Amino acid sequence: MNLHAITETDSAVIKMRGITKQFGGVVALNNVDLTAYAGEVLAIVGDNGAGKSTLIKILTGVYQPTRGTIELDGQPFTMSNHSDAIAAGVDAVYQNLAIADHLTPAQNLFLGSELTKSFLGMSVLDNKKMKLEATRTLKDRLGVQLKSMDVLTESLSGGQRQAVAIARAVRHENLRVLVMDEPTAALGPQETAKTLQLIKSLRNQGLTVIVISHSLDDVFAISDRIHVQRRGQCVGVVKTSETDNEEVLSMIVGAASTGATTTG
């Protein structure tokens, strides 16, 4: 269960308002609002070309909006790149995971921010400390224990690689918002179940988790609210407990009007 039921009086961690993104003459997003709260999983669904990926790339600093504003904890939030987003506590795990197969899990967790120590007056990698910290992060934050931390990441299963990618993001103590793009893509049923459990665990730790997924089964298994995109616009936001697969699918394809509202 999540830490609390989201109510209209809760303070939003993220507010995106009037987000529009144009690539030349193509309008990828048109006046989109998105709100996300602490301790919830917000799913973003929609067909290819609906603007899902563009929306989260704006949220994570990869793209700049043509128009619109973003607030973090009620304060204006602007980013010039993805590093700015990470520094503010907003990170993403993309579908390709960005894992270096030739490195160990610990080396992947600290890729770009390696720990060092002094040896004979020189700065060298502190592999022992990175291994211990990586083991602790996987176990304490995700409940994951790998049989060995000394193997190359390429030898891990899809679900284990996903756990390493998530651990790299949650290792940062200031993480507030984690965006996950198709987290169960190409995973088998057992590993999908494990990954969904990891997402629930992060929600229960108070994180804001935003998940893009084509799998409505996964969406209904983990989300608290569902944000539906269609042709670059948000066509509704519904509470997962108050809707069903058929209604959400109808919103995605525009087959029928619904009682859905853009709450939050």
Range(s) of the chain covered by CATH 3.40.50.300: 1-89+177-264
Angle, CA of 148, 151 and 157, to the nearest 5°: 85
| pLDDT one-digit tens code per residue, 201-252 | 999 999 999 999 999 999 999 999 999 999 999 999 999 999 999 999 999 9
User: Which CATH superfamily, name and number, covers 1-89+177-264?
Assistant: P-loop containing nucleotide triphosphate hydrolases (3.40.50.300)
State residue 264's pLDDT score. Answer: 54
What's the average model confidence in pLDDT over 88-112?
88
Stated pTM of the model: 0.87
Answer whether 212's CB lies under 8 Å from 8's CB. Answer: no
What is the torsion angle, in degrees rounded to the nearest 10, for the CA atoms of residue 219, residue 220, residue 221 and residue 225? 80
Angle, CA of 92, 94 and 97, to the nearest 5°: 110
